Structure 1
Amino acid sequence: MSNPYTDTLTRNSNQMQGRLSAWLAKHKLAHRPLGFDYQGTETLQIKSEDWVSIAVALYVYGFNYLRSQCAYDVEPGGSLASVYHLTRIKDNADEPEEVCIKVFVPREDPRIPSVLCIWKGANFQERESYDMLGIFYESHPCLKRILMPESWIGWPLRKDYIAPNFYEIQDSH
């Protein structure tokens, strides 16, 4: 006898798993499908410790372009997320395949392996995420502030950031 509750769960989980998720599962690469965004782009969650091996697999699969990398604070006192938008560009492709990867890390020790060795475009983008949210991209060759002065204390885009009461304006001359 079928159970409507479990039938719905199975049906919904199949709808959430796209072609890329099925490919990763076939190759026993750990991930969690998060569904699709409003444009139909598949979204996957990857653990920080699995990110480099999965990034290499995605590159081999054909995701040869890092369209963007950004980060955000999920909630005050909660985790931080690093988000990668990857594109699979083929010759004369009018509609390239895209995927969104989310890597969540605890704010107490936010460490994610850098993918600069795979996608060179990650250089400044990972630096900006470090500068604004304090996510450390391990093995990044030049992880330092890119927008804020080196002397800046704290991570301005964290939801628990307390802005200073005053700003000292330095003479640039």
Structure 2
Amino acid sequence: MENDHLQNYLSDWLVKYELVHRSLGFDSRGIETLQIKVEDWDSIAVIFYVYGYNYLRSQCVYDVAPGGFLGSVYHLTKIQYGTYNPEEVCIKVFVPRKNPRIPSVFWIWRSADFQERESYDMLGISYENHPRLKRILMPESWIGWPLRKDYITPNFYEIQDAR
């Protein structure tokens, strides 16, 4: 019952601001997952922050399928003093693998800094307006995006000889 109330509340709230979204259901903890269009992500992120989702608990990225879309996942939490069970929501933004671009949320949630950099480093999503978007795990000379399902591992010795 509580999840139905929250789902209707979040959906109604997004509709109020004329922002298109799609509910992808609830996870095992009862947290709703919403799919957001990449072109609406800037606006929706600001609205969620203003509404009180003041903590980006995690941001990650995954390859949906070889040759398919890449998904960037954001877990937002509404942290308030004295609240034992804070509200949470999961947001998914999908982008094509050719020239994947998503607006950075670094300027809203500073905790996105290293998380967006890791997502860029491993799967190649460019987070627009991120102040330091560069590799964080792989060497700067690394070619490609190692966690993409269609990634072909380069010959290790070729990479060492390239220095």
Q: TM (normalized to structure 1)?
A: 0.86
Two-structure CA RMSD over aligned residues (Å): 1.7
The percentage of counterpart residues that share the same residue type is 72
Change in Cα spacing, 1:16 to 1:118, as seen in structure 2 (3 Å) is: closer
Q: Secondary structure at the match of 1:63?
A: coil
Change in Cα spacing, 1:166 to 1:132, as seen in structure 2 (3 Å) is: same
Contact 1:55 1:115 in 2 (8 A): yes
Aligned residue in 2 for 1:10: none
Contact 1:114 1:137 in 2 (8 A): yes
Aligned residue in 2 for 1:29: 19
1:132 counterpart = 2:122: yes
Runs of 5+ unmatched residues, structure 2 = none
In the aligned structure 2, how far is the partner of 1:16 from the partner of 1:107?
Answer: 33
In the aligned structure 2, how far is the partner of 1:18 from the partner of 1:156?
Answer: 39
Shift of 1:65: 0.1
1:147 counterpart = 2:137: yes
**Between Structure 1 and Structure 2, whose CA radius of gyration is higher?**
1
Aligned residue in 2 for 1:42: 32
Aligned residue in 1 for 2:100: 110
Q: C-alpha deviations, 1:39-83, integer Å up to 9, x for none?
A: 100100111111010000000111000000000000000000000
- Letter aligned with residue 94 of structure 2: F
Change in Cα spacing, 1:15 to 1:164, as seen in structure 2 (3 Å) is: farther
Q: C-alpha deviations, 1:61-106, integer Å up to 9, x for none?
A: 1100000000000000000000000000111111000000000000
Aligned residues: 157
Shift of 1:20: 1.3
Runs of 5+ unmatched residues, structure 1 = 1-13
In the aligned structure 1, how far is the partner of 2:86 from the partner of 2:15?
Answer: 22
Shift of 1:17: 4.1
In the aligned structure 1, how far is the partner of 2:141 from the partner of 2:13?
Answer: 45
Shift of 1:23: 1.3
- Letter aligned with residue 19 of structure 1: Y
Q: Secondary structure at the match of 1:59?
A: helix
In the aligned structure 2, how far is the partner of 1:47 from the partner of 1:114?
Answer: 14
Q: C-alpha deviations, 1:86-129, integer Å up to 9, x for none?
A: 00011111100000000000001200000111000000000000
Shift of 1:166: 2.3
